[in-house]
Amino acid sequence: MFPSESPSSLLTGLNPEQLAAVTWPPQSALVLAGAGSGKTRVLTTRIAWLLQSGQASVHSIMAVTFTNKAAKEMQTRLGAMIPVNVRAMWLGTFHGLCHRFLRLHHRDANLPATFQILDSSDQLALIKRMLKQLNIAEEIIAPRSLQGFINAQKENGLRASALQAPDPQTQRMIECYAEYDRICQREGVVDFAELMLRSYEMLKSNEMLRVHYQNRFNHILVDEFQDTNKLQYAWLKLMAGSQAAVFAVGDD
């Protein structure tokens, strides 16, 4: 327990519903509430309360948000609530946490230690360069629509090898997706969607790694749960295993 203040002083100013959520037993919960009802505050206070009451350590908590702004805000609020090294915590966006994971395990991920991340415009530039090399005119496959296609497949957790084409145009798109992945691998670069997909694939296929993280995180807290896509949800389930208490807050 931290000496600065008692756990109960963290709870002042919470309404009965917020108080019930913050002090929920160490088991999974889905907290639904309207916009502007203090959901992020509940999540942050829950983390502080778990730490303050000795139910968790900074190393056994993972907190996931959707924007860097929300992650920064949570870090600032937490730092103000309790004397704790917030930087040591796994607190960030899905992509930020997957980036951290891949840097730590770049060998297992088959990536160079210095792998680069492509932003949206870098990704588009790579796609244009590839289409030129393949002699595919932009009238046949528009770079932006191929970019959208690739990102959508990755967000569904699907590689090119798992896709089937209903028509010749889609077949071309799938072949371009496979070639795009080969170029990224060769050049040691990953796009945003790849951060998530590669992390998910590693957790799924590498039992030692999966068990390590499942044993490490006893509490996984998720903000804006209504925004999670299929792949993010699958990644969360692998991280949590059967033991972790998943505390998710979302819009009703």
Split the chain (252 residues) into runs of 10 and give each run's mean pLDDT: 58 92 94 86 94 93 94 91 88 97 97 97 98 96 98 96 96 98 98 98 97 97 94 96 95 85
Contact criterion met (CB below 8 Å) for 220 and 246: yes
- pTM, full prediction: 0.92
Handedness of CA 110, 90, 242, 57 (dihedral sign): positive
Neighbours of 242 (CB within 10 A): 6
Element (H, E) at 99: helix 94-104
Q: How many Å apart are CA 206 and CA 231, to the nearest integer?
A: 17
CB neighbour list of residue 88: distance below 8 Å, 6 or more residues apart: 58, 59
Q: Which DSSP letter does residue 111 get?
A: -
The pLDDT of residue 1 is 45
pLDDT score at 6: 58
Residue-wise over 174-203: b if at least 16 C-beta within 10 A, else e? bebbeebbeebeeeebbbbbbbbbbbbebb
The answer for residues whose C-beta is within 8 angstroms of residue 100's C-beta and 6 or more apart is 90, 92
- Contact criterion met (CB below 8 Å) for 167 and 197: no
pLDDT at 2: 46
